[in-house]
Amino acid sequence: MRIGITGATGFIGRHLTLLAHAQGHTVVTYSRGSRAVPGADEHRQLPANAPHALPETPLDALVHLAGESLMGLWTPGKRERIWKSRVNFTEDMVAHLSTWRAENRPKVLSCASGAGFYGNSCAAEVDESSPRGAGFLADVCASWEMAAHRAEGLGMRVITLRTGMVLGSDGGAFPLLRRVFACGLGGRLGSGRQWMSWIHLEDALQLLLQATGSEAVSGPVNLCAPQAVTNAEFTRTLAKALHRPAFFHVPAFALRLLLRGMADEMLLGGQRVIPQAAKRMGYRFVHPDISGAFAALV
């Protein structure tokens, strides 16, 4: 396939570019910078005044990963940037794709979303057929997916990637967690009973490419490992993998005081996600359990 990737300079985008190229795909990367991404066969710089206006080139698939980081204090300005960089950007990008010649337009759009679509599911299992939850992240993800599905009006197959915490050695949350736990400062957050849906980077990339290349796959795909864990189990397993204690406990009130709305949605709430679409695809996870994932990373 000839695959375009937005957000190619990000954590997942960098690795996806390398893997897709290694698998024999032709990769076209899009970013605001002029420097090519390692592994890219071609690079297109986005217009500074209209970054949604992807320069036209023939594509079989477009993987859309661009968006403002969720990390940081969710001030009103931060929330606005999160919304605009996901929902508004995707709306504008799809509208711009309508101006492309039909023969150049991608046949499939795989658009990032998040497990936050399900809100705080508590202990209940959720899969791709489950309804959206409540909260800022659920609102963002639902509206983001609606913006992506507008591409169906252009004859494109649309996949929305409801991604959990992606664990990789050189990006995402894991490097910070590793440093904290290595110093003996690790510990559970709040009660520790909240569920965490996660996926090893290797599985996230392989599953993404398999879904994108399969004409039978459309709609939501949970990019999550089959075995979600509680925060307490996540903490114990990481501490064991690093051979370090994890005695610390951060009370819920302290997290709420420091991080405001972000705490309840990203740290004290969670989702127990089942990757039902991956099971239907016959995908076999390389790292199905958290202990094996941490062993591979450490």
pLDDT score recorded for residue 156: 98
Chain centre distance of CA 223: 7
What's the CATH code of the domain at 268? Answer: 3.40.50.720
Q: Which of 135-139, 169-173, 246-250, 286-290 has the lowest mean pLDDT?
A: 246-250
34-38 contacts at long range (C-beta below 8 A, 24 or more positions apart) = 37/8, 37/9, 37/13, 38/14
Helical H segments across 100-230, by residue range: 136-149, 174-182, 201-213
pLDDT score recorded for residue 178: 92
Residues 264-280: tens digit of each pLDDT: 788 888 999 999 999 99
Residue 252 falls inside a structural domain:
no
For residue 260, pLDDT beyond 80:
no
Q: Provide the sign of the torsion angle of the four alpha carbons 4, 210, 114, 189, taken in this order.
A: negative
Structural domain including 160 reads 2-231+260-297
Distance separating alpha carbons of residues 83 and 214, to the nearest angstrom: 30
Say whether pLDDT at 4 is over 90: yes
Domains held by the chain: number = 1
Residue 236 in any domain: the answer is no
Q: How far apart are CA 197 and CA 219, in angstroms?
A: 19
Backbone angles phi, psi at 78, to 5 degrees: -65, -45
262: left (phi over 0), alpha (psi -120 to 50) or beta: alpha
SS3 (DSSP) at 210:
helix
pLDDT in tens, 143-172: 999 999 999 999 999 999 999 999 999 999
Q: How far is CA 219 from the centre of its chain?
A: 15
Whole-structure pTM value: 0.94
How would you class 121 by CB atoms within 10 Å of its CB: exposed for 0-12, middle for 13-18, buried for 19 or more? buried
Query: Which comes out higher in pLDDT, residue 134 or 253?
Result: 134
pLDDT tens for each residue of 35-68: 888 999 999 999 989 999 999 999 999 999 999 9
Q: Which residues of 252-279 are buried (b: 16+ CB within 10 A; e: fewer)?
A: eeebbeebebbbbbbbbbbbbbbbbbbe
pLDDT at 261 over 80: no
For residue 247, tell me if it sits in a domain: no
Tokens coding 258: 């420091």
Q: What are 160's two structure tokens?
A: 């929305």
CA distance 125 to 267: 18
Residue 185 lies in a domain: yes
Name the one residue in this structure whose structure tokens are 């996600």: 273
> pLDDT value at position 122?
87
Q: Cα–Cα distance between 144 and 1 in angstroms, integer?
A: 25
* 250 part of a folded domain: no
Check pLDDT > 80 for residue 253: no
CB 133 within 8 Å of CB 118: yes
Residue 251 lies in a domain: no
Residue 253, domain member (yes or no): no
What's the rounded Cα separation, in Å, for the pair 214 and 116?
25
Kindly state whether residue 49 falls inside one of the protein's structural domains: yes
Query: Which of helix, strand or coil describes residue 188?
Result: strand
User: For the CA atoms of the chain, what is the radius of gyration?
Assistant: 19
Strand 198-200 to strand 165-167: parallel, antiparallel, or no bridges (unpaired)? parallel
